Chain A
């Protein structure tokens, strides 16, 4: 058994501690910043009763209590799954967060669907052609890709779409198409939902709209993976077991496919996992500012602008949990496929 229960237990305990730390730190930080949630909860009251309304709102939100009680209450509410209503929109916090989360996650999952194979293939090809012009080109390209600001590239893609195709990828799916085809979101992942419902027009529409932001976000993972893969393969090709295989007269393709590629899978998974989480931040910027898609970015920005501390905190906790889960999964998958690793 490569993954011990003890490891999972330790990891879970550590994760809980991290989440608690994030809650306390974020709560304190939010309370220190100006912007009174009670004012927003009371609805920016005007008229002679404004002061009274804000005081009552403060009591209702529990903001009149000492900070440690407020934090304890939030943790209790979080654990019992009752984060209350959003201060800005008066609907359950979970509803706000989930709607944004599925939109952003769909974008990243789609991005990684082609970024990982493409990045690995570029790295592999570069390593095979080591020292050639194509190798230099791919190496330079990977540096450029990894260091390109995504919001800038996103704007360029938008501009290019408009100039060359006359199409402006705006939003996640056409509202009019949704209406005319009777599309009903189930999971919140529109590509999947439209496939499930056999709604091809919506699938194509959602696909066409997700490609431009996905292209913008994909440059970082493609660049990083190409570079890492090349280095790993180049190192592996110098290993004794590869030399031995060459000496045995095994074909070069077989060596790479059977031995070299297998050996680089664990580090590639690790790098993919790390950059996956990094891309979440990238996606939050690009989807909102450049492509006008709904998602975590706009929700986070709005919650900060509107002193909606409940949504901000929920996002902080969920994003932390997401980060931890992805990394833990990466570790477990690594240990499962690589017998040398014992967690």
Chain B
């Protein structure tokens, strides 16, 4: 070794030591914190944003614990219950609503919750949607004017009747944030795009039971208990977690491993075939019947799926009970119509019975000579749809229909499926898509999936004026006469049942697996806010 090399080596080592000492001095580890109750919740997707007015995807998992809505939808009783609003009244024509707000509520930064916060939150969601079409602000479409009657009373004037109490319980676009965000973000208008960036950079000022303390949408989100939350006296849970870590664990097998190693306390997506093993090892589970459903769309503009009898042949050759048993291992419920079980407006008898003889009869009436080949487009990263597609293919072979499988990821699937409006003959005959609701209204599903104006999501290319009129009228009627509105939604679903542009396949049953050191009560889960856990109800055992 030459002297020169030796000196270089010495200098490098000295530089390294100095750097380490320097960094050590400036980043001394903090003293271990006092024993905290920590819950790690494994969620299976990365977070797509946390702007309370705009976010319309996975951000719900975070938003649901930080922010609150005016009302809360109780799926068990189908009732709308108070949250930030303690009471509300509506005019007889359903066009004027007054909400009486909860007093003494504070946002996480200490600013008071009041009518102004409600006004700016609702207006922002609505106006961003009106101006740019982004987000779910269309739920406030009817809101013409928001009047601040006093500090804790706010009046909504609508351009057409609406069930505003239901809309205010929505899982998106209905969250109330503090007006102080304007100053914190350094912007002059709530419509400023920079405010959206500020939120998405990991900032939040809500009233919810947990505060956001760390946000990394690809790794984990950390929430801390909000001791000033108004609801603690109501839930009375001294064992609620002090810290909640929402950990992004996309691989189901990694969630399984995390549970076993004690890293994860609640898992939302372990492989279904491993659940039995986990239960045997002392883990517990709650099976949530969700509003997340899977629907098979028929291309109604392309031969042979444009023939109603051919579609009927397909649905009668489909043994959904077997599929749920084999492909979903029982974690699904045979769908009846396109609205999930338990959802407002759901109808129970819209199931096509499996009957191969009948299916063959319909095939013969359709005049489609076998062998015929059709294509099925489905989402490859959903294990359920992948297994469904394989079994479906074999079932259709029994009917003499050959199915070519076209697996795609979601972005591409949507791109291909919506081409039905421009190029139906090049669009696959069948598409499987899934849906979960924004608001507890049948319009949410029916408009999006089957209205002739819903060119982005109506993968069937279904155009039926009667259907459109029925659901449009029902939507308006919801504010005036809810019972009559539901009747119209039922009629619309019966029409779909007869026309068969789409068929509900299954409603998902999602197993949440959790460790023995915590108690996850059933009330902590709600199918409307799927994946959102009400951590304030979770108990951590020492």
Which residues of A line the B interface, CB within 8 A? Answer: 33-36, 39-40, 42-54, 56-57, 85, 88-91, 96, 99-100, 158, 162, 167-171, 174-176, 179-184, 186, 195-199, 288-289, 291-292, 294, 298-299, 302, 304-307
- Of B77-85, B258-266, B326-334, the one touching chain A: B258-266
| B530 smallest CB distance to A (angstroms) | 16
- The answer to whether B32 and A292 touch across the interface, beta carbons within 8 angstroms, is no
- 8 Å CB contact of A196 from B23, B56, B254, B257: B23
- 8 Å CB contact of A182 from B31, B129, B249: B31
- The answer to whether A34 and B29 touch across the interface, beta carbons within 8 angstroms, is no
- The answer to whether B247 and A53 touch across the interface, beta carbons within 8 angstroms, is no
Leading 5 A-B pairs by shortest Cβ distance: A292-B254, A53-B133, A182-B30, A49-B133, A47-B138
Among A88, A182, A288: residue with most chain B CB under 10 A:
A88
Q: Which of B176-215 contact A (CB under 8 A)?
A: 196-197, 200-202
- The answer to whether A175 and B455 touch across the interface, beta carbons within 8 angstroms, is no
Chain A contacts of B251 at CB under 8 A? 288-289, 292
Say yes or no for B448: interface residue by CB 8 A criterion: yes
- The answer to whether B132 and A56 touch across the interface, beta carbons within 8 angstroms, is yes
6 A-B pairs whose Cβ atoms sit less than 8 Å apart in the complex: A40-B411, A45-B134, A48-B138, A52-B133, A168-B257, A180-B32
- 8 Å CB contact of B33 from A42, A99, A167, A180: A180
Say yes or no for B217: interface residue by CB 8 A criterion: yes
Q: How many residues of B contact A (CB 8 A)?
A: 73
Chain A contacts of B48 at CB under 8 A? 43, 88-90
Interface string of B302-321 (1 = CB under 8 A from A): 00000000000000000000
| B223 smallest CB distance to A (angstroms) | 12
Which residues of B line the A interface, CB within 8 A? Answer: 20, 23-24, 27-33, 36, 38, 40, 46-49, 51, 54-57, 129-130, 132-136, 138, 196-197, 200-202, 216-220, 222, 243, 245, 247-251, 253-255, 257-258, 260-261, 263, 381, 408-412, 414-416, 438, 447-448, 453-457
| B135 smallest CB distance to A (angstroms) | 6
- 8 Å CB contact of A184 from B27, B31, B222: B27
- 8 Å CB contact of A170 from B31, B47, B257: B257
- 8 Å CB contact of B24 from A40, A45, A183, A198: A198
- Using a Cβ cutoff of 8 Å, how many contacts connect chains A and B? 199
- The answer to whether B414 and A39 touch across the interface, beta carbons within 8 angstroms, is yes
| A36 smallest CB distance to B (angstroms) | 5
| B138 smallest CB distance to A (angstroms) | 4
Chain A contacts of B248 at CB under 8 A? 294
- 8 Å CB contact of A46 from B29, B415, B438: B438
- 8 Å CB contact of A35 from B54, B130, B216, B409: B409
In angstroms, Cα B258 to Cα A175, docked, is 11
| A195 smallest CB distance to B (angstroms) | 8
Known: A50-B133, A167-B261, A305-B409. 18 other contacts (CB 8 A): A43-B48, A45-B134, A46-B138, A46-B448, A47-B136, A53-B133, A53-B134, A57-B134, A89-B48, A90-B197, A90-B200, A170-B263, A176-B245, A179-B38, A179-B222, A198-B28, A292-B257, A294-B248
| B26 smallest CB distance to A (angstroms) | 9
CB-based nearest A residue for B217? A89
Chain A contacts of B38 at CB under 8 A? 176, 179
- The answer to whether B411 and A43 touch across the interface, beta carbons within 8 angstroms, is no
A170-B46 in contact given A47-B138, A183-B29, A294-B219 (Cβ < 8 Å): no
- The answer to whether B263 and A298 touch across the interface, beta carbons within 8 angstroms, is no
- The answer to whether A298 and B250 touch across the interface, beta carbons within 8 angstroms, is yes
Chain A contacts of B31 at CB under 8 A? 182
- The answer to whether A307 and B411 touch across the interface, beta carbons within 8 angstroms, is yes
Chain A contacts of B216 at CB under 8 A? 99
In angstroms, Cα B129 to Cα A50, docked, is 9
- 8 Å CB contact of A45 from B51, B247, B415, B456: B456
Chain A contacts of B197 at CB under 8 A? 85, 90
- The answer to whether A47 and B49 touch across the interface, beta carbons within 8 angstroms, is no
Among A179, A183, A298, A302: residue with most chain B CB under 10 A:
A179
In angstroms, Cα B134 to Cα A45, docked, is 6
Among B130, B138, B447: residue with most chain A CB under 10 A:
B138
- The answer to whether A34 and B412 touch across the interface, beta carbons within 8 angstroms, is yes
A39-B411 in contact given A46-B136, A294-B219 (Cβ < 8 Å): yes
- The answer to whether A176 and B263 touch across the interface, beta carbons within 8 angstroms, is yes
| B167 smallest CB distance to A (angstroms) | 13
- The answer to whether B133 and A45 touch across the interface, beta carbons within 8 angstroms, is yes
- The answer to whether B40 and A176 touch across the interface, beta carbons within 8 angstroms, is yes
Chain B contacts of A306 at CB under 8 A? 410-411
| B391 smallest CB distance to A (angstroms) | 24
- The answer to whether B29 and A88 touch across the interface, beta carbons within 8 angstroms, is no
